[in-house]
Structure 1
């Protein structure tokens, strides 16, 4: 095979001449160290290669050899609870064989080829199968990892065997229309830049329950939806993503640490094995795949890490699972694009980012969605993508944020002032939005409470009105407000502090079910309705309302355990009774002492 020769080295970009059978997006081995790279541009006999490892010390005229295949990731049993780098190498195996530093040229596979998995067949000899059909499964702890018929294989099952196998051993044989026998093993490969196929994409109609009240109630994201979390440094982007990874009702979590600090990935590694998944009662790490390409790891691999994570997410989606994909952060991914674009001497766009930034981001986010999976059975799976954006100084007008807002359907605007005030999640309720709100309201009216959307809209109206009233207070003081306006300020405070604010270190407060969220919202809004009615009486003042015991009891609702929600119902009834008693006593001309 004719070897190419290096003619230029510029950081992670290497230009080679005369690479035999070179094709765009094929992987190559660069220099005598055989560093992995990918052809990203071709001009005649010249191939521009982004190298996924450190290129210092590479000399001109060293060899470049094409692998004649695109950058792909290994898919199969063993992915869950693993930690991979941006190009799919198992970092635990890396540490075991190479030490704790990223030695260049290391050939580390994604999955172990020696570990055995016990295969349970789900089809029998003589059955017809098509691509995407489940032929069996292996158990990863309690998780059923289905083995699917790969692309390009269909026909009659000739043989299938239960037993313990490595991922490269044949577990079934399919005879196609040409009477050719096609062996199937548990290992498959997929190009990371190519979207995995499906039968049809559907509109999201089911909420992804995150347990975070500000998200689930006011700015919900649907299963198969897309969301972005922009915010300045220190506003809690990573904290919110950790909470979503811990508590969202998904089957698999793919967490991509793309260019962020290494200590954040360390937090994930330390916390996830200790957190018990409420669904499976096993450690959260058992259903998680970590992709780590932090800020001190190769820049070019940072660009590939997003695609690696999405491909793994699509793989589990095709089994019929709901997958949550966390990307932290797409700003660092875009910076890798900007660096490679600059090395290629392309015409820059806004702030030096490549002109194709928006289209690349759209290509990434469009791989999320809820789909009907391939196969003869009715399987539905989803990938929900939640991307953090790190605009410098919190400037949301910068290119990455604006390009993301064009494609993401949910916008959770993080506010540094809320974070500094220790209000978490620090999501600004006045700037955020969700385009899934109407569909989620329909779901909640059907599955939670008939008047849910009415209470939610009125609560959001009070929070918006609070801002106007606060401006008046700052100008001319509280004394200028009527008792009704003071009541509105108090109810808005209750919504902010007793409903929107959560404490991640309190077990009863870190996660809130839809049922509990609805009851809490009803308790606050009905308190407002009852208080407003009695406040219209001449003999009742705002001080009488503020001294009622119901206010303190509402503040304690968030600490109610999920198995004791009847106490919130009792609180709603108690407040209703107290105010009815007050109203009755006023009608009869009695005093209000003791109420």
Structure 2
């Protein structure tokens, strides 16, 4: 029998019950006459505290709270793809059909369509021994995703009954498994899982394969690995959402989970509209055919904003268990942290820096540590990569959320408002950003791209840092005082900035660039630098060298060389050699 108690006190999304209760920690409960969804977050002899995931206006003391004896869970099964959910996995499209544009309090809509029949192909037979993770059936969830129905992680036994291939709903039993103690488990096309508990895996691998995004500033300069973690901090208007869109569209991930966490309603509406229009470059079909959207705007209940992160993570881990590479876009973790701060204030907890709770760091760590490249229970391999946008107030990277995020991510793509104002996109600062995956990925680069690439990347970063130092001198006394070899550094850095780091997100060629072309472009720029450096060493003035149109020609190669026509790069090497030989002839 489910436990029942009465409301004693209400403070925003926090509801308290006086005296001892039969509720358990993290149990899901229904609050009040409208059956609002809540979760137990604190228990003592004197009171039990519950956070409510819906608007609590109108609740009064004395109304009943009914327990479910279960933790906060999500449903995992076919129908997640191409759907839009709120923070506690209620399908917004279905809610709109039932209640219009406004979500009614207490509305209870199943996450998965229980009436739709899916074409099921069975993969097991009677008599087989199965355990957690084993694929028992396959369902074409969309044109891009084959859904693999798996044995729940805790189930082990012998298959004693299997349905034939055909059309079934998510509630139909597909397989019956007999345990060693003689009990039976019915396995359906969906399973449930607590959102705050990571799904089990066999082994965590080191991240040695890059998550290629088609963005040069990421793939070549600050790469992220499959199963890696990255943060995109930046002030208003610096391009966080656009950058996440580019990654979602062009990254070599199989599944995209986009979590709109606490953003303004009009911005979230724009995101939803944009995603529905995006075309998947892999298949020329809508990108939504391999995307799940979770929309929890700033005007939705603050507790649901806090839960939305874990809802998205659990869905991502479910598809990872099928052997897919999943990329999570969380926009933004700052709004999630603000939800933690508000809930902490309601609970009258002692605040830490800038009012955030003392456990902010551990919550951020818990979020990012669920990323990884995994060996799954069914012996497949899959990954969850987490890319979280951070929105520091006033673009101040010293605030607590940004600083704590830096402790737990290995990629930091800091967006610079000065670059954004100068229309340099992506506005990732090469001075304030870093990636700790470069060493882990070097073997992959050597094997799959070029043995020169890692050295080329290191030389590029060195030139950009040298330019930054020289610009301090230039600001004080002007460029004319610099010796020619330093003027060449400034010239090459300009080519790197305009011709390599800057990328046109709507250009038919430059929007996404394969890794092989990126490596060729970088090598051409550095080849030009080395040739010009030789000329300077021979005493040729930089004023003569910089007059050549070869520098502009190299800058524009990103627009002139098709992604699938890399043989053209030989023409650039020849043009640089011709420039070098002509300069040597004219200057004796």
Shift of 1:19: 7.5
Partner residue in 1 for 2:545: 545
Residue of structure 2 in register with 1:592 after alignment: none
| 2:156 is the alignment partner of 1:154 | yes
Structure 1: distance between partners of 2:477 and 2:23:
73
1:291 deviates by: 0.7
Measured after TM superposition, the shift of residue 403 of structure 1 is 1.2
Q: Contact 1:259–1:302 at 8 Å: present in 2 too?
A: yes
Shift of 1:263: 3.0
Counterpart in the other structure of 2:194: 191
Work out which of the residue numbers 241, 244, 247 in structure 2 matches 1:244.
247
Alignment of structure 1 residues 12-27 onto 2, 5 Å:
12-17=13-18, 21-27=22-28
Give the conservation status (yes or no) of the 8 Å contact 1:24–1:42: yes
Q: By how many angstroms is 1:272 displaced?
A: 2.6
SS of residue in 2 equivalent to 1:544 = helix
* 1:369–1:383 contact (8 Å) kept in structure 2: yes
Q: 1:75 is matched with which residue?
A: 76
Write the distance in 1 (CA, Å) between the matches of 2:459 and 2:335: 39
More displaced stretch, 548-557 vs 145-154:
548-557
Could you list the per-position Cα deviations for residues 177-217 of structure 1 after superposition, in whole angstroms to 9, with x for gaps in the alignment? Answer: 23433221101100000110011111100000011111111
SS at match of 1:508: coil
Q: Kindly indicate whether residue 296 of structure 2 is the aligned counterpart of residue 321 of structure 1.
A: no
Deviations 1:351-377 (A, max 9, x none): 1111111111111111111111002xx
Q: How does 1:387-536 map to 2 (within 5 A)?
A: 387-536=388-537
Q: Which residue of 1 aligns with 2:49?
A: 48
Structure 1 Cα separation of the partners of residues 271 and 165 of structure 2: 36
Are 1:20 and 1:66, in contact at CA under 8 Å, matched by a contact in 2?
no
CA contact (8 A) 2:20 2:45 kept: no
**Is the CA contact 1:250–1:323 (under 8 Å) kept in the aligned structure 2?**
yes
**Over the residues paired in the alignment, what is the CA RMSD in angstroms?**
1.6
Question: What is aligned with 2:12?
Answer: 11
Residues 1:305 and 2:308 are matched in the alignment:
yes
After TM superposition, give the deviation of residue 164 of structure 1 in Å: 0.5
Q: Contact 2:20–2:44 at 8 Å: present in 1 too?
A: no
Q: Does the 8 Å contact 2:85/2:91 carry over to 1?
A: yes
Question: Which residue does 1:341 correspond to in 2?
Answer: 344
1:229 aligns with 2:232: yes
C-alpha change, 1:114 and 1:440, in structure 2 (3 Å) is: same
Equivalent pair of 2:243/2:426 in contact (CA under 8 Å): yes
Distance 2:174 2:574 in 1: 61
SS in structure 1 opposite 2:256?
strand
Aligned residues of 1:5 and 1:18 also touching (Cα < 8 A): no
On the 8 A contact 1:20/1:65 being kept in 2, the answer is no
Unmatched tracts of structure 2, length 5 or more: none
Give a deviation string over 1:267-304, Cα, whole Å, max 9, x none: 33223333332333421111000111011111110000
* Distance apart, 1:586 and its partner CA: 5.8
Q: Distance in 2 between matches of 1:328 and 1:184?
A: 35
Aligned to 2:223: 220
Q: Structure 1 residues 34, 238: closer, same or farther in 2, change over 3 A?
A: same
Match of 1:510, SS?
coil
Q: Is the 8 A contact 2:81 2:142 kept in 1?
A: no
1:352 alignment counterpart? 355
- Indicate conservation of the 8 Å contact 2:21/2:48, yes or no: no
- The answer to whether the 8 A contact 2:157-2:177 is kept is yes
Are the counterparts in 2 of residues 19 and 65 from structure 1 also a CA contact under 8 Å?
no
What secondary structure is seen at the aligned counterpart in 1 of 2:125?
coil
Asked if the contact 1:246/1:272 (under 8 Å) is kept, the reply is: no
The 1:181/1:393 distance shift into structure 2, 3 A limit, reads same
SS at match of 1:525: helix
Contact 1:122–1:134 under 8 Å retained in 2 = yes
Aligned mates of 1:74, 1:65 — CA distance in 2: 21
Instruction: Output one character per residue of 1:78-119: Cα deviation in whole Å (capped at 9) or x when no partner.
Output: 000110000000000010111100111100111110011101
Q: Structure 1 residue 266 and structure 2 residue 269: aligned?
A: yes
CA distance in 1 between counterparts of 2:523 and 2:581 reads 17
- Separation of aligned partners in 2, 1:490 and 1:410: 28
Q: How do residues 57-68 of structure 1 correspond to structure 2 at under 5 angstroms?
A: 57-68=58-69
Q: Distance in 2 between matches of 1:2 and 1:74?
A: 23
Stretches of structure 1 lacking an aligned partner (at least 5 in a row): 590-595
Distance in 1 (CA, whole Å) between partners of 2:484 and 2:583 is 17
Please say if residues 19 and 64 of structure 1, whose CA atoms lie closer than 8 Å, have aligned partners that are also in contact: no
1:200 aligns with 2:203: yes
Number of aligned pairs? 584
| Counterpart for residue 571 of structure 1 | 572
For residues 264 and 516 of structure 1, what CA distance do their matches in structure 2 show?
Answer: 34
Moved more, 337-346 or 546-555: 546-555
Tell me the CA shift for residue 581 of structure 1.
Answer: 4.9
